[in-house]
Structure 1
């Protein structure tokens, strides 16, 4: 170290120190670390649409886990008990009426069950009746009562609009389901039943006067009819029920019983960089244009792989500490903090927190849970406490002694805190 003195009496000190600075690409990769699997998938889809050099390899997502495969399902999911019902090979069409007869057979009155098969024979591919109930009874030699009971049972268990006598009634039935769920205005079924022809002809003024609605309401109802109602019997999705989140980390059990961690990287999504520069004249601007897109494509693959690598290291470390917990349940949970994992694998604690937050873990059984279940303190003690409390009310001191017998030396105030966290009476 060198020192010097100025005429004003100020002293300058010159020294050497280190400063950690991340490269822009690394910063982008660490930013992607906070993204969930679904967000990464959305980002890659946008990049595929915008970048001509980035492409997806031939194939499709595995129906069991979503991994990109050339055909059927991946080797990990093939034969897995959680996905054994999925067929290997081209995806088959879904028949919404496949279990209709069996389901309706449980609903229908026993003395009318003989008419069920004959009534079902009059359903078209769209789920409509090819003739009215009276005509079915006459054609099949049945009494009207069993026919109507069979129709009631079919409509009770089938998708909205099943066994309707017209497309209008089918659409109105679907509209009633949406209206009952609060996903459409209550007047939508009437709009369908009474004014579908007017809407098709563009006569919105007639509908406004007849139903007392505003023009905007009529147009909004028309949008719902176009977007949400189908001219065939199909189960109506309830938008209030969000789909379950996709797993970010997959945990598999090897044949020898050990656990293996996998995090989707660029190959999981089937991403690759296409070589489009071959044959492009060097003098043209196309070379530079393609080079820019190729750089962007490789940067995206790097960021996806960096995210996967960091998440893999973090999870592998946590799984190594939580083998007993994963094998035997909460009572064997080992106290583990994000800071401890960060120190063990050489990452900053904030990086570990960003990686774990909001992520989901698929267990070897196929169930999905929060990745954060591998971290925390007191989970095992709480599990023992919960078991002790199921045997009846006890004092904090008695519970403390029970925990001590199980290897948990806790203060009474800690026992009281855990007890209150389990919503138990003090």
Structure 2
């Protein structure tokens, strides 16, 4: 330290100590990854795998249920939850999927089979399958089997794939054949559906691959097509549905009712360092090059695991505070700030904010919500206010609502009631 002495006496040096907080570069990068979403971490990992020869994945593939890297089939959590096959069970409620089908088929069918068409339509279940064989329908209504077959031909010509199928498996197979014909699925998909649905539900994807003489990874791809594109009912559209939002944090319910939090780390992505033979390591021309890439690979794994560790601690703290909310709904939400969580786990509030922002939480039910739903203080009174507005007189003043909420234990200002009321309306 340099100080000026009295006038005319020049300058003199003095030694002094001062403290300065510095962050290591690796830690800074790890905290930067904390702000990334799962998809962004996944993309960064794919880029690192493509660019770094010292980073690789273990043998296996992503679980079709959650995306966790597994060696075969589905992961243990998805198997326990029966997630190998999951379908929407029927058409949207309140809709009639066959409202115009008979009229359209009436323009296609031969005149001598129009009466048969009416009876065939009467034998369609809500799924669009037949509740009896064609010859049984013909015998029951005094028709010729050929007339029933013609009615079915006309029906299938104008209807969605699988309409009039004798079973759900046949219906799904017809939908798979339609995808193959459109060039949107591999040729083996109909056989996968018709012969191996039971094996897929049991998670025996390796056995299915051997039976179809295709790699197991293709079986998993076929399973994804089945889940996304096929429906166990005759639907006018079998196009892709919006994929479920990818979660950053997974919440599971244990058998005893407690909640378990999981955040994907490097093991989730199946990452590991490449093992090199001693001869390659000793080569002088390769030693420096390999050391730099190995360090970069180690840093990437560390950053992913550091992100997972911080996000896990934050979520576990918030879940412990909000167990009643997660068990019973909005009315049991407790006020919780990011600062309170930061103080409890010993990090800066900005770290919690950065970790929570933009993240998604997969609930035990399988639904995906914003991780920020665990924080805030207005959810429970808002839910109580919504109940008052739904069940009380048509017109209650904001002051009356404030007083009633106060009796229920929610102490909020009248202007806050006004704000909540406008948002609900």
**If the length of structure 1 is used for normalisation, what is the TM-score?**
0.65
Aligned to 2:244: 244
Instruction: Measure how far apart 1:19 and its partner are.
Output: 2.2
Aligned to 1:387: 387
Instruction: Measure how far apart 1:38 and its partner are.
Output: 1.0
**For residues 182-206 of structure 1, what are the alpha-carbon distances to aligned partners after superposition, in whole Å with 9 as ceiling and x for unaligned?**
xxxxxxxxxxxxxxxxxxxxxxxxx
Instruction: Measure how far apart 1:15 and its partner are.
Output: 5.3
Cα distance 1:288–1:236, how it changes in 2: closer, same or farther (>3 A)? farther
Determine helix, strand or coil for the equivalent of 2:22.
Answer: coil
1:257 matched to 2:257? The reply is yes
Aligned to 1:231: none
Determine helix, strand or coil for the equivalent of 2:79.
Answer: coil
Cα distance 1:113–1:294, how it changes in 2: closer, same or farther (>3 A)? same
Residues 57, 272 of structure 1: 8 Å contact kept: yes
Q: What is the alpha-carbon root mean square deviation over aligned residues? A: 3.8
Within 5 Å, which residues of 2 pair with 1:58-207?
Answer: 58-80=59-81, 83=83, 85=85, 107=101, 109-111=117-119, 147-154=153-160, 162=178
Q: Which runs of 5+ in 2 are unaligned?
A: 88-96, 103-116, 125-145, 164-173, 184-236
Within 5 Å, which residues of 2 pair with 1:366-381?
Answer: 366-381=366-381
Aligned to 1:25: 26
Aligned to 2:305: 305
1:336 matched to 2:336? The reply is yes
Cα distance 1:54–1:5, how it changes in 2: closer, same or farther (>3 A)? same
Rounded Cα–Cα distance in structure 2 between residues aligned with 1:419 and 1:11: 70
Determine helix, strand or coil for the equivalent of 2:272.
Answer: strand
Aligned to 1:349: 349
Instruction: Measure how far apart 1:14 and its partner are.
Output: 7.0
Instruction: Measure how far apart 1:16 and its partner are.
Output: 3.7
Aligned to 1:43: 44
Cα distance 1:346–1:10, how it changes in 2: closer, same or farther (>3 A)? farther
Aligned to 2:109: none
Rounded Cα–Cα distance in structure 1 between residues aligned with 2:304 and 2:239: 32
Rounded Cα–Cα distance in structure 1 between residues aligned with 2:48 and 2:272: 12
Rounded Cα–Cα distance in structure 2 between residues aligned with 1:115 and 1:401: 59
Determine helix, strand or coil for the equivalent of 2:280.
Answer: coil
Residues 62, 72 of structure 1: 8 Å contact kept: yes
Residues 60, 69 of structure 2: 8 Å contact kept: yes
Determine helix, strand or coil for the equivalent of 1:279.
Answer: helix
Indicate the larger mover: 412-421 or 321-330. Answer: 412-421
Determine helix, strand or coil for the equivalent of 1:407.
Answer: coil
Instruction: Measure how far apart 1:13 and its partner are.
Output: 8.9
Instruction: Measure how far apart 1:84 and its partner are.
Output: 5.8
Determine helix, strand or coil for the equivalent of 2:7.
Answer: coil
Cα distance 1:281–1:71, how it changes in 2: closer, same or farther (>3 A)? closer
Residues 400, 410 of structure 1: 8 Å contact kept: yes
Determine helix, strand or coil for the equivalent of 1:78.
Answer: helix
Determine helix, strand or coil for the equivalent of 1:76.
Answer: helix
Determine helix, strand or coil for the equivalent of 1:285.
Answer: helix
Residues 335, 376 of structure 2: 8 Å contact kept: yes
Q: Which residue, out of 406, 415, 418, partners 2:417?
A: 415
Residues 266, 305 of structure 1: 8 Å contact kept: yes
Residues 115, 150 of structure 1: 8 Å contact kept: no
Rounded Cα–Cα distance in structure 2 between residues aligned with 1:315 and 1:409: 27
Cα distance 1:352–1:152, how it changes in 2: closer, same or farther (>3 A)? same
Rounded Cα–Cα distance in structure 2 between residues aligned with 1:77 and 1:411: 46
Aligned to 2:134: none
Aligned to 1:295: 295
Cα distance 1:13–1:342, how it changes in 2: closer, same or farther (>3 A)? farther
Rounded Cα–Cα distance in structure 2 between residues aligned with 1:309 and 1:290: 28
Residues 386, 422 of structure 1: 8 Å contact kept: yes
Determine helix, strand or coil for the equivalent of 2:252.
Answer: strand
Instruction: Measure how far apart 1:322 and its partner are.
Output: 0.6
Q: Which residue, out of 379, 397, 400, partners 2:399?
A: 397
Cα distance 1:337–1:53, how it changes in 2: closer, same or farther (>3 A)? same
Instruction: Measure how far apart 1:417 and its partner are.
Output: 2.1
Residues 115, 146 of structure 1: 8 Å contact kept: no
Instruction: Measure how far apart 1:107 and its partner are.
Output: 4.7
Residues 34, 354 of structure 2: 8 Å contact kept: yes
Cα distance 1:19–1:252, how it changes in 2: closer, same or farther (>3 A)? same
Determine helix, strand or coil for the equivalent of 1:77.
Answer: helix
Indicate the larger mover: 45-54 or 308-317. Answer: 45-54
Residues 160, 236 of structure 1: 8 Å contact kept: no
Residues 2, 12 of structure 2: 8 Å contact kept: no
Instruction: Measure how far apart 1:150 and its partner are.
Output: 3.3
